[in-house]
A and B are shown apart, each in its own frame.
Chain A
């Protein structure tokens, strides 16, 4: 009996592996961040709008924050900008920008034209802080807990749907445990 059953079981297992591998919902570009549940990297950079001022992890110490990696060359960043503006108006969580590998004057113009949803944007010209954060494709959006732990990382443009699905439950949970 087992001689006939074993190949069948193996076959079914193989099919399951294929189904998982071919799942159309699966996004191959989306890699789990190694920082999830761990402290977010510390950083300090000049501000995009005023080089004399510094922005960094100290700016959102002891409060929950969003760190949004963006650049003017990034199409997805334009796409999500409208939603970030709405989100900033609600004042749920302060949004900090990490302007990654960009041109300062172009980035400033971007914010003047489309509005500035950020409390402040850090200017990461050579991409070194981006590397420390494991950034590999803007836009990326990190949710940082008040104690500095990375709760979530969204790859790709943020939208109301993704916000409600991925961020809101985590923010509410953090709110009740505090």
Chain B
């Protein structure tokens, strides 16, 4: 029993050894938390389905380095995202901003939901006005 348990625990250890970001943590835990949140929301454009947190492409490590530098210089999250959008476009953000061309991404799901609710309401209303069909019980 002990051996399988040890092996199971070792499996959990293994994942940490694959950490991509080898930078030292910031001294300030708040800064570290902001850093981790930002790198988890920025797309690595070299490897487009990964964030720069997950990617070991050198572009990702360069961007992590720049983000660290900007955090150390005291820039706000918003300023850091601006820096990236200015250079790489809105596509670099995994969570696009609700403005301009990306507005459609934010509005359409809401519209679809409203449309669905409207359809559902109509169907339910129509069914409510139908006479109760006693034959149903005889069928089947």
Residues of chain A having any CB pair with chain B under 8 Å: 28-29, 31-34, 101, 126-128, 130-134, 136-137
CB distance from A16 to the nearest CB of B (A): 15
> Are B66 and A31 in contact, CB atoms less than 8 angstroms apart?
no
B59, A136: Cβ atoms closer than 8 Å: yes
- Within 8 Å CB of B59, what residues of A? 127, 136-137
> Shortest CB–CB separation between residue B49 and chain A, in angstroms?
10
B48 proximal to A (CB < 8 A): yes
**Contact, CB under 8 Å: B46 / A134:** no
Tell me the B residues contacting A by CB distance below 8 Å: 45-46, 48, 58-59, 62-63, 65-66, 85-89, 91
Question: Are A134 and B88 in contact (CB-based, < 8 A)?
Answer: yes
Q: Are A137 and B46 in contact (CB under 8 A)?
A: yes
**Residues of chain B lying within 8 A (CB to CB) of residue A137:** 45-46, 59
The one of B45, B66, B88 that contacts A128, using a Cβ cutoff of 8 Å: B66
- Which residue of the partner chain B has the closest CB to A38? B86
Q: Is the CB of B91 within 8 A of A31?
A: yes
Residues of A contacting B87 with CB < 8 Å? 34, 131-134
A-B CB contact pairs (8 Å), 13 listed: A28-B48, A31-B45, A31-B91, A34-B86, A34-B87, A127-B62, A131-B66, A131-B87, A133-B87, A134-B88, A136-B46, A137-B45, A137-B46
Residue of B nearest to A32 (CB): B89
Residue of B whose beta carbon sits closest to that of A136: B45
Query: What are the residues of chain B within 8 A of A132 when measuring CB–CB?
Result: 87
Residues of B within 8 A of A126 (CB): 62, 65
Chain B nearest CB, measured from A122 CB (Å) = 16
With A34-B85, A34-B86, A136-B88: A130-B62 Cβ-Cβ less than 8 Å: yes
Contact, CB under 8 Å: B63 / A131: yes
- Beta-carbon nearest neighbor of B85 in chain A: A34
**Which of A28, A29, A31 is close to B89, meaning CB atoms less than 8 Å apart?**
A31
What residues of chain A lie closer than 8 Å to B66, measured between beta carbons?
A: 128, 131
CB distance from A27 to the nearest CB of B (A): 12
Contacts of A134 in B (CB 8 A): 87-89
Given A131-B66, A136-B59, output 4 extra A-B contacts at Cβ < 8 Å: A29-B48, A31-B45, A128-B62, A128-B66
Bound state CA distance, A133 and B86, in angstroms?
Answer: 9
Chain B residue with Cβ nearest A35: B87
Q: Which residues on B sit within 8 Å (CB–CB) of A128?
A: 62, 66
Q: Are A127 and B91 in contact (CB under 8 A)?
A: no
| A-side contacts of B88, CB under 8 Å | 31, 34, 134, 136
Query: In whole angstroms, how far apart are the Cα atoms of A29 and B48 in the complex?
Result: 8
Query: Which chain B residues border A31 with CB–CB below 8 Å?
Result: 45, 88-89, 91
